[in-house]
Structure formats: structure tokens, C-alpha cells
Amino acid sequence: MSDDLIVQAQGLSKVYRRGSESVRALWRADLRVIRGQFIAVAGASGSGKTTLLNLLGCLDRPSSGSYRLNGREVAGLSERELVGIRRREVGFVFQQFHLIPTLTVRENVQLPRMFGAQAADRTDELIDRVGLAHRRRHLPRQLSGGEMQRVAIARALANHPALLLADEPTGNLDTATGRQVVEMLRGLSASGLAVVVVTHNPAIARQADQILNLTDGLIREEG
């Protein structure tokens, strides 16, 4: 197996029970993401985008199928083992940024390290990389939306992940700021990171190396 293969999912499914009914949130998805690839996941609301992201980020376990992350099968791991995987292998960026309001930019970026992420401390380097060196000691309320999302990106990189997952990262930003954030994610993938972005925005999807369109839990096409 190539060292460049970060995500390899085969027949990945997630079925929820809703009363007596079974809901196929994701059905038999096959997916490969290599190092440096920028993937966009598109689809209508309820199509299974977030379910796919949760499975890829080890926040949830699949009902069936295989999922190898960075060469390791993670589909059958315990919650404790999944925590370890999230700590080492995955970075998350959210639409709402989810910065802790009482922590400074620097402390927010350090957050994964507070929870035992073992990667070398690159906090200042990451803050420089997202262009916020002058904001290091500022609180989130003193930042613009774009700056907050850049802090969130730096935080997602604090554990030196192999896979970066972003859920509508430009959903709360204006067009120009959103474009800057996408350029930043694009730059990260160019530097070797595997990036998967969930988006409604066709302009962002068009910049991806590959687009996965989800409909009713099925990956319909790959562009």
C-alpha cells in the first residue's frame, strides 16, 4: 500500500434506527484520498455529507464496511482508540469556528495539546502561517470572522494531522473572506495534507481535485 494513501474506505455504510424504521445515512461508499489531495463533498441537506465527515474523522463508527486511515483499519476500534486517532491523525474545522471565547488566539491553537496531542509544539509557527502573528494575544471577540476561521485552521493543524476535515468552513464568511480561507486550505493540501471539505458552494467545489456528490447517502458521481 502506498504511503500516500491517507483514506481508503470500502463499502462504508451508516444506518440509523428511527423508531422501527432504518435510515441509510450513508450507503456503501467507496473512497480514496491521497496525501496532498483536495476533495469537496457536495450534496443537499440530509444527503449524508456530515455523516461521511463524522466517519472519516472517527467521531462515529460505521455500521459496516472498511475504513483505513493512514494505513490503519479504524472501523472496529473502541471509543478510547478513536480518541487516540483523532488526537494524532485528524484535524477539524467547523462552520461556527468554535473558538473558546476566554482563551487567546495562542491558547485556542494550543487546545489540542492540552488534551494530550503529542506532536511537537508548533503553535507560533502555525499562527504565523495563517497570518495572525500580530493577533497572538487577542481574544476571539477582537477578531473578524475570517481571522477566527484562520485560528480554527491553525488549531486543526496543531496535532500535525494527516487528514484535515472542514465542514462548511466558509458558511459564516463573506465571499472575499471565504475565498481567502479556501485558498489557505488549498495551500495546505498543496503542502501535502489530505483535505476534505463539505460545502454547498459550487465555487469552492470547483477548486477541488475531486468532487463527491452525495444523494440520499449514496455517492452518485465523482468529478
Q: Which is nearer to other proteins, 92 or 211 (CB)?
A: 92
Joined grid coordinates for residue 30: 467507496
Helix then strand then coil, % of the chain, to nearest 5: 35, 30, 35
Query: Could you give the C-alpha distances from 146 to 121, 124, 167, in angstroms and in order?
Result: 24, 19, 15
Smallest distance, Å, CB 113 to other proteins?
Answer: 9
Q: Which is nearer to other proteins, 170 or 211 (CB)?
A: 170
23 binds other proteins per the rule CB under 8 A? no
Smallest distance, Å, CB 26 to other proteins?
Answer: 13
199 binds other proteins per the rule CB under 8 A? no
64 binds other proteins per the rule CB under 8 A? no
Helix/strand/coil for 122? coil
User: Residue 10: CB partners within 8 Å, gap ≥ 6?
Assistant: 30, 65, 66
Q: Which is nearer to other proteins, 151 or 211 (CB)?
A: 151
Joined grid coordinates for residue 180: 481567502
Taking contact as CB under 8 A, which single stretch among the options 37-45, 111-119, 129-137, 210-218 is the one that binds other proteins? Answer: 111-119
Are 66 and 10 in contact, with CB atoms under 8 Å apart? yes
| Binding positions for other proteins, rule: CB under 8 A | 50, 54, 57, 59-60, 79-80, 83, 86-87, 91-92, 94-96, 98, 100-103, 107, 111-112, 114-117, 155-156, 158-159, 167
